[in-house]
Amino acid sequence: LKNPRPQERSLTKNIRMKAVQSNLFVAFFLLACFASLTSASDPSPLQDFCVAINDPSSAVFVNGKFCKDPKLATAEDFFFSGLNIPKNTSNPSGSTVTAVNVDRILGLNTLGISLAQIDFAPYGINPPHLHPRATEILVVLEGSLYVGFVTSNPENRLISKVLNPGDAFVFPVGLIHFQFNVGGKSAGALAALSSQNPGAAIIANAVFGSEPSINADVLAKAFQVDKNVINYLQKQFWWDNNN
Ligand SMILES: *[C@@H]1O[C@H](CO)[C@@H](O)[C@H](O)[C@H]1NC(C)=O
């Protein structure tokens, strides 16, 4: 349009505005589509619980750990050594778990990953336990381990296998699992876990060795046995093989 009259000028402006508006609409629509793929939930807990306090001046803990000034980070913050040395397994379980979590490698903070070294005496057991915050993948370095986990209700299905050196096995987050040394000699494994602080709840220790004890009547009813059986179990010393 050459030299349009004022009315025509405002008409072309109007058409251009409409085009811009519809482009913006398409852009917002695409943005909305992609935004639905992002996560908007609360961050996962990095410890068993984190009770809120109303007075910020007495706040000491965050979810996880405080961060060091990145400029001051050194190689030592990301380093751990000695996983080639078998740990002492002379204990009632005949196994020792050495957690290489954020307490041992401070640089793991916020990264969602950690490691564990597991050593076994002949016929040693890493007793039934679960990790509240992590899936585990274990690789056998030495010996033979009979390992398994149990699915949740209503199936309660045992999924198990004998592993040899070089074999890897997955224990899904929160499910009860165990490793038993069936090789007749010492065994060793390394496990990677999907949390900087996976936590470990050992079933027998939690149920029969809690402090204070769970009422014996509660457990007798829950396990459908005589109370003497519960008293006997509660008197046992429940070794914690986590180190
Ligand atoms: C291993 O631990 C047991 C029990 O604490 C102890 O008696 C033994 O001396 C330890 N062995 C070695 C080689 O440190």
The residue ranges of every structural domain in the chain are: 1-31, 78-234
- The mean pLDDT value for 148-152 works out to 98
Return phi, psi of residue 42, to 5°.
-65, 155
User: Which two tokens mark 10?
Assistant: 């405002």
Mutation pick for ligand 1 pocket among 85, 87, 88 (CB with most ligand atoms within 8 Å): 88
Least confident range of 25-39, 55-69, 90-104, 222-236: 25-39
- The mean pLDDT value for 29-49 works out to 71
Q: Looking at residue 212, what DSSP letter applies?
A: S
Q: Taking the CB of residue 151, how many other CB atoms lie within 10 A of it?
A: 13
Which residues are bridge partners to 191 per DSSP? 116, 138
Per-residue pLDDT at 9 exceeds 70: no
Q: Give just the sign of the alpha carbon dihedral 166, 126, 114, 153.
A: positive
Annotated binding-site ranges for Mn(2+): 129, 131, 136, 177
Q: Please state, in angstroms and rounded to a whole number, the distance separating the CA atoms of residues 90 and 49.
A: 33
90 lines ligand 1 (CB under 6 A): yes
Superfamily of domain 78-234: Jelly Rolls (2.60.120.10)
Residue nearest to atom 13 of ligand 1 (CA): 88
b/e map 30-46, b = 16+ CB within 10 Å: eeeeeeeeeeeeeeeeb
Q: How far, in Å, from the CA of 204 to the mean position of ligand 1?
A: 24
Q: Please state, in angstroms and rounded to a whole number, the distance separating the CA atoms of residues 204 and 234.
A: 9
**pLDDT value of residue 19:** 61
Q: Please state, in angstroms and rounded to a whole number, the distance separating the CA atoms of residues 132 and 162.
A: 25
Residue nearest to atom 6 of ligand 1 (CA): 90
Whether the pTM exceeds 0.85: the reply is no
Residue nearest to atom 12 of ligand 1 (CA): 88
**pLDDT value of residue 117:** 98
Query: Residues 20-36: pLDDT tens digits?
Result: 566 666 666 666 655 55
User: Which two tokens mark 33?
Assistant: 């589509």
Q: How far, in Å, from the CA of 194 to the mean position of ligand 1?
A: 31
- From the list 206, 50, 183, the residue with the least C-alpha distance to 125 is 183
Query: Residues 192-225: pLDDT tens digits?
Result: 999 999 999 999 999 999 999 999 999 999 999 9
